[in-house]
Structure 1
Amino acid sequence: MDILEFGREILKSQPFSQLLGAELIAFEPGRAELRVALADTLKQQHGFAHGGVLAYLADNAMTYAGGSVLGNVLTQEIKVNYVRPAMGEALVARAEVLSHGKRQAVCRCDVYAVTEEGEKLCAAAQGTILAVE
């Protein structure tokens, strides 16, 4: 089984990810990309994607990226900056490992809204991913 298929199997075992309809579209050492179709049920009262959906995407994409270099992991901390309301047909999160040791990885992630005009940056995040026994 290759790393992308392995990652997709992990995603299938996450009930919350399944609830949101998340898809792992890229996964390689130090990098991960997740996508969620922007259904009406994921929007807030003004019609934008709920901030929790953007935070979920950043968090999960960073744990995939960190896990690709550390193994079994959990998020230790995360910071999300929302830079624009997210509207469109889907959201895509692209995460990468900036630095890692044996037990921790510092990762960053950009979350984009996918629109007819292209991708627009909606959130930028950074987090620390921790290896667990």
Structure 2
Amino acid sequence: MEIGQQLLAKQGFSNMMGTRLTRLTKGEVELELPMRPELRQQYGFAHGGVLSYLADNALTFAGGTAMLDVPIITSEFKINYVRPALGHQLVARARAVHTGRRQSVCQCEIFAVDEQGETLVAVAQGTIVVMGSSKES
């Protein structure tokens, strides 16, 4: 968990967003993001870019810890927005579903949290890969 906190602290964008790492085990992660007015779009719910950022970061943490190899990077991901994200906080939970030597396929669910509890607002799937040397790129 400590190394995850250190990695998150090095991400300027994550710091600006206010993201917190609340759980990290091999192949699994939970990130929380308090909602603020500037993270909402014109209809009052979380902007799709905010959900996409959260999915990308959660997928990468899950895949990176599953492979136990650094450095890693997101190769691709897809997100489905299933309902408007209303509430005071977002929670992303991701896990590696298949891990090989050079890549990990991961899934993520994002929930909006309000006084009634959690509501699923987006699901994502992505591939996290071990970065090669600059000669391979």
For normalisation by structure 2, the TM-score amounts to 0.93
* Alignment match of 1:31 (pick from 3, 7, 28): 28
Q: Structure 2: how far apart are the matches of 1:107 and 1:7?
A: 17
Match of 2:15 in 1: 18
* Aligned counterpart in structure 2 of residue 68 of structure 1, from 65, 77, 87: 65
Q: Give 2:92's aligned residue.
A: 93
Aligned to 2:135: none
SS at match of 2:62: helix
Structure 1: how far apart are the matches of 2:116 and 2:53? 24
1:6 maps to 3
- Per-residue displacement from partner, 1:47-74 (whole Å, max 9, x unpaired)? 0000011111111001000000222210
RMSD (CA atoms) = 0.7
Question: Partners of 1:32 and 1:110 in 2: how far apart?
Answer: 11
Q: Which runs of 5+ in 2 are unaligned?
A: 133-137
Tell me the percent identity.
50
Question: Which of 1 and 2 has greater Rg?
Answer: 2
Counterpart for residue 82 of structure 1: 81
CA distance in structure 2 between the partners assigned to 1:25 and 1:39 by the alignment: 19
User: What's the TM-score once normalised by structure 1's chain length?
Assistant: 0.96
* 4+ residue segments displaced more than 4 Å: none
